[in-house]
Amino acid sequence: MISAKTNRHLVRSSAFYDLIMTAGFMTPWTAAWVFGAFSALSGALALERPVPVLDVSGMLFANLLGSVVVVWSLWRLAQPSRRVGLYDALARTLFATWQLYAVGQGASVLILGFTVFEVVFVVLQIVPVSERTPRYAGYCRGTAQ
């Protein structure tokens, strides 16, 4: 069990991670650079499954995903809460499921690097939260309030 404060920090941390990792997908120009970097990494690691070059429709979906996740990240940074963290855990469960499915269908194994973080943040955000206040709360200078 973790404190509500720790839970809010986890929600913010997951939002910050998402902001960093998905901002590059928001525009066609930055997404092309990100996919180029993934392709170079895939080549450097001599991976058998190449990173695809996106057509206009694929790029549109990458940009939509990047835009929505960035907005969701900004919301979680501004308004972290247990409820928002649980919704985020649900979204991450769906993301991880589809990432595993894609890799199973032949997508680049580089995706699994993202999947690890999705699963870690799911687990961290679903840990039960203690809503109890510390024993010393309500006491001021040794007298109960």
Q: pLDDT per residue over 17-75, tens digit each?
A: 999 999 999 999 999 999 999 999 999 999 988 888 899 999 999 999 999 999 999 99
pLDDT at site 100: 98
pLDDT (tens digit, 9 = 90+) per residue, 79-108? 999 999 999 999 999 999 999 999 999 999
Q: Answer yes or no: is 93 within a domain.
A: yes
Strand 143-144 relative to strand 139-140, pairing: antiparallel
Q: Is residue 136 part of a domain?
A: no
3 falls in which pLDDT band (50, 70, 90)? very high
135 lies in a domain? Answer: no
Asked whether residue 141 is assigned to any structural domain, the reply reads no
Query: pTM of the prediction?
Result: 0.83
Write the single-letter amino acid at 5.
Answer: K
For residues 122 and 116, what is the distance between their CA atoms, to the nearest angstrom? 10
pLDDT at 134: 57
Residue 81: which domain range?
2-130
pLDDT of residue 145: 46
Domain count, the chain: 1
139 falls within a domain: no
70, part of any domain: yes
- What is the predicted pLDDT for the residue at 6? 95
Residue 142 located in a structural domain? no
Please name the residue that has the structure tokens 């392709």. Answer: 39
* 60 within some domain: yes
